Amino acid sequence: MVGGGKKRDCLHCDSSATTERSDVTTRGYRRFRCRNCGHNVNEWTGSIFNCLHYPPDVICLVVLWRVRHEGLMERKLAAILSADVKGYSRLMGEDEEATIRTLTAYRAVMTAYIQQQRGRVVDSPGDNLLAEFASVVDAVRCAVAIQHELQERNTDVPVQRKMEFRIGLNLGDVVVEGERIYGDGVNIAARLESLAEPNGICISGTVYDQVETKLPLTYEYLGEQTVKNIRCSTVVI
Look at residue 132 and tell me whether its pLDDT is greater than 50: yes
| Contact criterion met (CB below 8 Å) for 167 and 82 | yes
Percent of the chain's residues with pLDDT above 70: 77
Mean pLDDT of 172-178: 91
DSSP class of residue 161? G
Q: pLDDT for 176-197, tens place per residue?
A: 988 899 998 999 999 999 999 9
Helix or strand holding residue 23 (H, E): strand 18-24
- Nearest Cα to 142, choosing from 152, 132, 154? 132
Identify whether residues 41 and 117 lie together within a single domain. Answer: no
Identify whether residues 117 and 157 lie together within a single domain. Answer: yes
Identify whether residues 107 and 202 lie together within a single domain. Answer: yes
Domain that holds residue 88: 74-236
Identify whether residues 51 and 127 lie together within a single domain. Answer: no
Identify whether residues 112 and 171 lie together within a single domain. Answer: yes
Identify whether residues 51 and 147 lie together within a single domain. Answer: no
> At 205, phi and psi to the nearest 5?
-60, -30
Identify whether residues 86 and 180 lie together within a single domain. Answer: yes
Q: Which pTM does this prediction carry?
A: 0.68
Q: What is the CATH number of the domain that holds 224?
A: 3.30.70.1230
**Total structural domains within the chain:** 2
Q: pLDDT for 48-88, tens place per residue?
A: 444 444 455 555 555 555 555 555 678 899 999 999 999 99
Q: Tell whether 219 is covered by a domain.
A: yes
Look at residue 4 and tell me whether its pLDDT is greater than 80: no
Identify whether residues 110 and 226 lie together within a single domain. Answer: yes
**Lowest-confidence segment of 50-54, 75-79, 121-125, 159-163 by average pLDDT:** 50-54
Mean pLDDT of 199-207: 94
Q: How many residues does the chain have?
A: 237
Rg (CA), the chain: 30
Instruction: Say what the pLDDT of residue 100 is.
Output: 96
Instruction: Say what the pLDDT of residue 106 is.
Output: 97
Identify whether residues 62 and 130 lie together within a single domain. Answer: no
Rounded distance, CA 81 to CA 119, Å?
A: 9
Identify whether residues 80 and 162 lie together within a single domain. Answer: yes
Phi-psi region of 222 (alpha: psi -120 to 50; beta: other; left: phi over 0): alpha
Rounded distance, CA 79 to CA 172, Å?
A: 7
- Mean pLDDT of all residues belonging to the chain: 83
Sign of the torsion formed by the C-alpha atoms of 226, 124, 80 and 92:
negative
Look at residue 94 and tell me whether its pLDDT is greater than 50: yes
Identify whether residues 32 and 137 lie together within a single domain. Answer: no
